[in-house]
A and B are shown apart, each in its own frame.
Chain A
Amino acid sequence: MKSELELRGVQQRFHARGVADGYITAVDDVSFSLAASPPQIISLVGQSGSGKSTIARNVLGLQKPTAGSVLYGGKDIFKLSRAEYDEYRRDVQPVFQDPYAIFNPFYRVDRVLWKAVQKFKLASTRAAGLELIEESLRAVRLEPENVLGRYPHQLSGGQRQRIMLARVHMLRPSFIIADEPVSMLDAQVRRHFLDILLDFQTEHGMTTLFITHDLSTVYYLGGEVMVITKGQIVERGPVSTVMHEPSHPYTKLLLDSIPQPDPDQRWTTRIAVDELERVDDANPADTMKPEAPIL
């Protein structure tokens, strides 16, 4: 397995009408790298529209960046040979945001697991494949008999999302790209899901790029964090440092936006939407990238 995934100066622009130059820039010169060993969890935090999901699509090879490159083992993922591509696909796997839309409503949920067995040749016989599927379902604390043979609408959001984790468990990729995986789960199921991700890190050595808008889950996961706004990474470092001594005004604003389950700490002020806009305009210097990469 190649041990590094790197983004180098990735820029993603989309055609848009009604914008001055006809483009909107979703991702603007983003560089960072993920190492497979030691396994780690790196969070990418930003508000809606900050470009974080586009980065996930770039890393997964679903969207070719307009400039810059995504490198897997030092090679551009859009220029891999067949064998290298197979390895990359196996090694970099996603968990998506919407646990319902990820399933084709026409098929039973087993299909995504069987597809993984078939496409990545995980087992040579049907019995071996079934054994593997059941083992992985138990690893994410699902009872195989409760989920196999069902249609997506018959399962809860948490169950569906854990099936996606079971898929990841079967494939054992070095990198998990988790794009807002818990934003549609309720608090209890969310915690459960995050624990499984942490287990994957310690037991199977998987590195996770955890994309979210929610700083409280980032705090729970620990590790490193990158803060992105308007397509640029404005702050990065260990979670404890960024959380306690935020250097960028956007990070401060983000921290202030975490609701506390404490009646004495209720919000008394309101954040206007244009305050979010003003942060960057008022402090152009602050949008510059930090000098040293964290990794």
Chain B
Amino acid sequence: MTMRILTAVVRTIRNSRRLAAGLIILGVMVLLALFSPLIVNAIGNGKDPIEVAAYEKWLVPGPGHLLGTDQFGRDVFAMVMKALSVSLQIGAIAGIISTVVGVIVAFVAGYKGGWIDGILSTFTGILLVIPTFPLLIALSAYAKNVTLFQVGVMISIFAWPFAAKTIRSQVLSLRTRPYVDLARVSKARDLEIIVTELLPNLLPFIGVGFASSALGAIFGLVGLEVIGLGPGGVVDLGQIIYNAITTGALTLGAWPMFVVPIVLLTLLFAALNMVNIGLEEVYNPRLRGVAGE
């Protein structure tokens, strides 16, 4: 079973250059984020480079400080590394929570049908049309000293309905397949049918759901931070952009403070979108070229 999934994954990646490119960019960023404590340590050379007044303020990029320092004399390169890891963690937390919730809701609604589906679909529909951003602003006003995990949970409240909606429609189409009937006359129970017959065929959709909710979460938080309304205590890439804007960093020659986070975010966006499109291309044959297997 595990081997089967692994070979399927490898085959999928081989089939789409877009998917491969997206995964490579994403992989490099995740590696950078994973090793960010080491990188920060190496930059600090024994002391904390993100401490206030660690160095002189507003140093221009140079050999000592690749991306210069900010208004408090903190090393920008170290800050960016740390913020990247925070942004990715937010994405991962919110992505996992909303995918799990979305998948469970979608399977229960799609497979059970009837009034259960009615209630769950109405609920997801309501959450889907609520304007998320103003609500997040309001929520973050109450959340001054929150942990990373709490922010993730906050954002995923609004991120799961999208995944639930797309997966539910797939479940609806899959549950009437003859192989589900065959499983039923072979005495398979509902949960067994969902896990062994339906779930494997929905892996690409679940992957897409995860990627888009992670993306939504990262950019949701960046959006809040950039306008200065982010929850306190969480320093992500948006926070650095906010600092650059409010201190006029660009006019002081500290352009990396503004440019580098934006480049990283753009790359992340491009990578996750390439993964999304790549997965859809591989699993939706109508988007594929004529070449078959």
Contacts and interface: CB of A to CB of B under 8 A. Distances in A.
A101 B179 contact: yes
B182 A96 contact: yes
B181 A62 contact: yes
Nearest to A92: B185
A117 to B, nearest CB: 10
Contacts of A92: 185
What 6 A-B pairs have minimum CB-CB distances, sorted nearest first?
A106-B200, A104-B179, A101-B178, A102-B178, A119-B187, A96-B178
A98 interface: yes
B178 A115 contact: no
Contact of A62 (B4, B185, B186): B185
Interface in B181-212: 181-188, 197, 200-201
A105 interface: yes
A86 B186 CA distance: 10
B177 interface: yes
A103 B187 contact: no
19 contacts: A60-B185, A62-B184, A89-B185, A89-B186, A89-B187, A94-B181, A97-B178, A101-B177, A101-B179, A102-B178, A102-B182, A104-B200, A104-B201, A105-B201, A106-B4, A112-B186, A119-B186, A119-B188, A120-B186
A52 B283 CA distance: 34
B185 A93 contact: yes
A119 B183 CA distance: 10
Interface in A82-133: 86, 89, 92-94, 96-98, 101-107, 112, 115-116, 119-120
Nearest to A108: B4
- What does DSSP make chain B's interface, helix, strand, loop or mixed? helix
Contacts of B184: 62
Interface of B: 4, 177-179, 181-188, 197, 200-201
B177 A86 contact: no
B150 to A, nearest CB: 38
Interface string A233-249: 00000000000000000
A111 to B, nearest CB: 9
A198 B161 CA distance: 53
Contacts of A104: 177, 179, 197, 200-201
Given A94-B181, A104-B201, 13 more contacts: A57-B181, A60-B181, A89-B185, A89-B187, A93-B185, A96-B178, A96-B181, A104-B179, A104-B197, A105-B201, A106-B201, A112-B186, A119-B187
A220 to B, nearest CB: 25
A57 B186 CA distance: 14
A115 B181 contact: no
Nearest to A62: B181
A161 to B, nearest CB: 12
A92 B187 CA distance: 12
Contacts of B200: 104, 106-107
Contacts of B179: 101-104
Contacts of A107: 200
B263 to A, nearest CB: 40
B112 to A, nearest CB: 15
A67 B131 CA distance: 47
A107 B188 CA distance: 16
Given A101-B177, A101-B179, A103-B179, A94 B201 contact: no
Contacts of A98: 178
Contacts of A57: 181
Contacts of A112: 182, 186
Contacts of A119: 186-188
A276 B282 CA distance: 45
Contacts of A115: 183, 186, 188
A176 B17 CA distance: 48
Interface string A178-220: 0000000000000000000000000000000000000000000
